[in-house]
Chain A
Amino acid sequence: MPTASNAPISSVNDFVVRFANVNGSGSASANEMFARAVMRMGIPVAPRNIFPSNIQGLPTWYEVRVSEAGHLGARGGTDLMVAMNPQTFDKDIAAIEPGGYLLYDSTKPLPPSKFRPDITVIGVPLTAICNREYTDPRQRQLFKNIIYLGVLSVLLNMDVKVLETLIGEQYKGKDKLIQPNVHALHIGRDYATLNLAPIGLQLRASDKVGDRIFIEGNSAAALGAVYGGASVCAWYPITPSSSLADAFTKHCAKLRVDPVTKKAKYAIVQAEDELASIGMVIGAGWNGARAFTATSGPGISLMQEFIGLAYFAEIPAVLFDVQRAGPSTGMPTRTQQCDVISCAYASHGDTKHVLLFPEDPAEAFDFGAEAFDLADRLQTPVFVMLDLDIGMNHRLCRPLAWDDSKKYDRGKVMTAEELEAGKEFGRYLDVDGDGIPYRTYPGTHPTKGSFFTRGTSRDRYAKYTEEGAPYVDNMQRLLRKFETAKDLVPRPLAANGAKPSKYGIIYYGSTSPAMDEAVHLIEARGHAVDRMRIRAFPFHSSVSSFVADHDFVYVVEQNRDAQMRSLIVNECGIDPVRLVPILHFDGTPITARFIARAIGDHLDQLKVTAPARTVTS
């Protein structure tokens, strides 16, 4: 951290490096290698891809937060800018923290007005070096990325062996590429050693990574679907969820092929649109397979009619919603938590759905698997609410774990033997009082247990009716089922502040790492706060209790309309003034600085101006 305004920042294992590149220039693999190298040195690292809705030519950034303390949320601000995109150069320079550093391509001289006096400017003639070393234009471009990686490795004191190993792993199987890349790395290293002075940002090998793994949320969620027993996947490409279906395809090819027959124990269909994908999922769920789709907000909008059918006809389905900024096409490559309401109450008529909110890839794996048990148990659609920040970035998280003694919960399915033995079957008959009826799979028994599934109203034995009383009876049973869900879904996790507090914070999903850090910042300002991380909807009773136990509860979320707050107000019957919205919705991931400032300022103000609260009951 800078000690004086213009003094160069001096920091070991705690800074932010941002790479500004042009989309499609091959920078991604070099940048990712940088992040991995930091991780391999045992230093916690959190990379984030900030990319445009474009294939080639538009600006893209890769931000790497290095944090010995283990803070994995976005921090905000840049300590070292690797400015490789002339298009965004001025904006990138402006984004550097006072006392920060700039690494740029100095082949073409730039006037001093292009720089800032309060930063350290490091010029490397990258283009000139590449033009000298390579003749092929494509090589000139690609190796430029590796050369700046070499430069950085000297400036930041990275372990060169780690980088060389990573290059070997990256090009495993394409071994001819290893040596040229190692060579390029050393071109950069040699230039830096000869020409550049050391800087204040340093990496030092540590042991803070432990056994954690580095994985994208979409890949982890897809693995969850594999472990959870999904055998049918129907999807339609949409950013930022496409990589989830891609990952499922990849994982299945490795993990789900019969070793003898080489046949697939899964079926994946890229549908013609989102309507067809959810239709296939519902058809498969009706027929007793575990099925899912992966989509984002616009897809959820398209699926509304079918989601209502699955709710009313009581068909298990799992939907992974990797949220992006809406409405409409919105910001397709930016993150938000903006589909909470549209998923919770998806479709026409009276509907409510089960939502799960994982905080990171490890939980995306857990919930990704658990969603299938819940969908079967509750015979209803279950939404796993990811977002771009979790889904499309590599995140350090605990290793994925599976209990081998676990059996899938296929819910209440009546078998041919039970039917044969004369057990009473009413498709919509609440025999156990939990609102969940029994179902049969098509083809179970020649003369018993068949029924007609429809979106129109029916009686307890699935017989068509437009009578008011059976309709109401059925709708109330569905509410009972939703009550049952409250104790089946993952419970919220609460943590007390350093001191007993009248104030609480509710948050969920990808806000988690920023919140872990923000709590310390808020405490540093002299405020203690309790917190609760909501992990599912419908809300467990402890959510109401948490609000009741505090004077105010801040509800921190990444959308404009305070959607989770509305859901809590609506479902828990809470006076809205008790819930203070803290909202971040510019498409970038929420930061600890933002949360700490917003809550800290509010608490500061409360200390001065808030009248003593009168307790009336």
Chain B
Amino acid sequence: MTYLAKPKFRHPGLPKNSLGYTHRDYEGAVSTLCAGCGHDSITAAIIQACFELSIEPHRVAKISGIGCSSKTPTYFLGNSHGFNSVHGRMPSVLTGANLANRDLIYLGVSGDGDSASIGLGQFAHCLRRGVNMVYIVENNGVYGLTKGQFSATADRGSKSKRGVVNTDNSIDMVAMALQLGATFVARSFSGDKEQLVPVISAAIAHKGAAFIDVISPCVAFNNHAGSTKSFDFVREHNDAVNRLDFISSRMPIEVKYEPGSVEVVEQHDGSKLALRKLAADYDVHDRTAALGFLHQHAAKGQIVTGLLFVEKESEDLHAHLGTVDAPLNTLGERELCPGQSALDAINASLR
């Protein structure tokens, strides 16, 4: 269907958000990915989250690397600037963009090839710096565009479409993100919109480095028996620690769940996360315990999903650097150039 342009027609009765935008205002070009690709579901979830949050579409900057996942920013938020950069380097481009203008929302979209192999270094360092962003890895365990090679997140023992068994250990990006100091860490599944949309919303509202690993089966190369990233496998082994309801500061607050099973987490911007706890013993604010929980369940072959960690008092790179409140890209010669008088003093000190 990719040869068809999206029709401009819109239903007059489409629901509008508080800014008066409809869902359509958050869409992008028609996807050129394979029919049924998990990535398209993530695109839909991003659109849904931005619509629900009433974000002005142009206040988002979408930045990606190279690969199937990195193509997706073309398919959502058509009125946002996007930057499809180079393979594995989305984090540095996003960091620079964020330094230039702290007022935009930064959505970094990457894949497991892009972030766990060639870009592992940049993935690690942007998290440890606390760049204020939402970093989504659309994780299918496979290189799609180059026709089905294993990626570094493919589980040891999983089988490729051609029948080759992966003998390398896999990288768990969620465990790494926890270890590297990301202040918001979640894992979700492209086939679980009910979980994914509020997770993305909460990550957008989070101030600091928010990382979401979204398992996203590749219908062309990694959706067969023997794969541990197929729809069937993930559905059977998904072990959600919580279900999330996101209530932005602009929404009426109605927490309609049984007290005791619900934990409400308030973020910097006043938004609230209502966590319906599924694993009674899971503490979403305990980084160390989260790592242990993750490892124990992985050993049992279970894929832990949900909001796994959120830091209550998170900070971002701008706070660490002590930068001015105004975006640096708005400063002109008046603010930036010290002028000849300061230079006279410097000259005098150099004689």
Q: Which residues of A contact B (CB under 8 A)?
A: 39-40, 209, 211-215, 223, 226-227, 229-232, 234, 255-256, 258, 261-269, 271-273, 275-289, 291, 305-306, 309, 399-404, 406-408, 440-447, 450-456, 464
Q: Which residues of B contact A (CB under 8 A)?
A: 56-59, 61, 63, 73-74, 78-86, 89, 91-101, 103-104, 121-122, 124-125, 129, 317-318, 321-325, 328-329, 331-333, 335-340, 342-343, 346-347, 350-351
One of A261, A271, A287, A444 near B324 (C-beta < 8 A): A261
Q: Which of B57, B79, B321, B324 has the most chain A CB within a 10 Å cutoff? A: B324
- A452, B74: Cβ atoms closer than 8 Å: yes
- A407, B336: Cβ atoms closer than 8 Å: no
Contacts of B57 in A (CB 8 A): 446
- A453, B122: Cβ atoms closer than 8 Å: no
Contacts of B82 in A (CB 8 A): 450-453
Distance, CA A209 to CA B347, complexed state (A): 14
Distance, CA A287 to CA B100, complexed state (A): 6
Given contacts A400-B343, A450-B79, A452-B84, contact A445 B100 (CB under 8 A): no
- A213, B61: Cβ atoms closer than 8 Å: no
Given contacts A269-B129, A287-B61, A450-B81, contact A264 B96 (CB under 8 A): no
- A272, B125: Cβ atoms closer than 8 Å: yes
Contacts of B328 in A (CB 8 A): 231-232, 265-267, 284, 289
- A287, B96: Cβ atoms closer than 8 Å: yes
- A280, B95: Cβ atoms closer than 8 Å: yes
One of A279, A289, A441, A447 near B122 (C-beta < 8 A): A279
Given contacts A264-B321, A407-B333, contact A464 B338 (CB under 8 A): no
One of A273, A291, A442 near B96 (C-beta < 8 A): A291
Q: Nearest CB to that of A279 among chain B residues?
A: B92
Distance, CA A456 to CA B74, complexed state (A): 13
One of A211, A229, A261, A309 near B336 (C-beta < 8 A): A229
Given contacts A264-B321, A306-B86, A402-B339, contact A285 B351 (CB under 8 A): no
Contacts of A263 in B (CB 8 A): 322-325
- B84, A268: Cβ atoms closer than 8 Å: no
Q: Nearest CB to that of B326 among chain A residues?
A: A265
- A443, B59: Cβ atoms closer than 8 Å: yes
- B104, A443: Cβ atoms closer than 8 Å: yes
Contacts of B347 in A (CB 8 A): 211, 213, 399-400
Distance, CA A263 to CA B327, complexed state (A): 12
- B85, A227: Cβ atoms closer than 8 Å: no
- Return B67 CB to nearest CB of chain A, in Å: 13
Distance, CA A231 to CA B99, complexed state (A): 9
- Return A523 CB to nearest CB of chain B, in Å: 32
Given contacts A229-B336, A407-B333, A446-B56, contact A283 B95 (CB under 8 A): yes
- Return A441 CB to nearest CB of chain B, in Å: 7
Q: Which 7 A-B pairs have the closest CB atoms?
A: A283-B96, A279-B92, A289-B100, A280-B96, A442-B81, A288-B329, A287-B100
- B99, A276: Cβ atoms closer than 8 Å: no
Distance, CA A278 to CA B96, complexed state (A): 9
- A455, B350: Cβ atoms closer than 8 Å: no
Contacts of B96 in A (CB 8 A): 232, 234, 279-287, 291
- B58, A446: Cβ atoms closer than 8 Å: yes
- A464, B74: Cβ atoms closer than 8 Å: yes
- B86, A443: Cβ atoms closer than 8 Å: no
- Return A103 CB to nearest CB of chain B, in Å: 28
Distance, CA A222 to CA B183, complexed state (A): 34
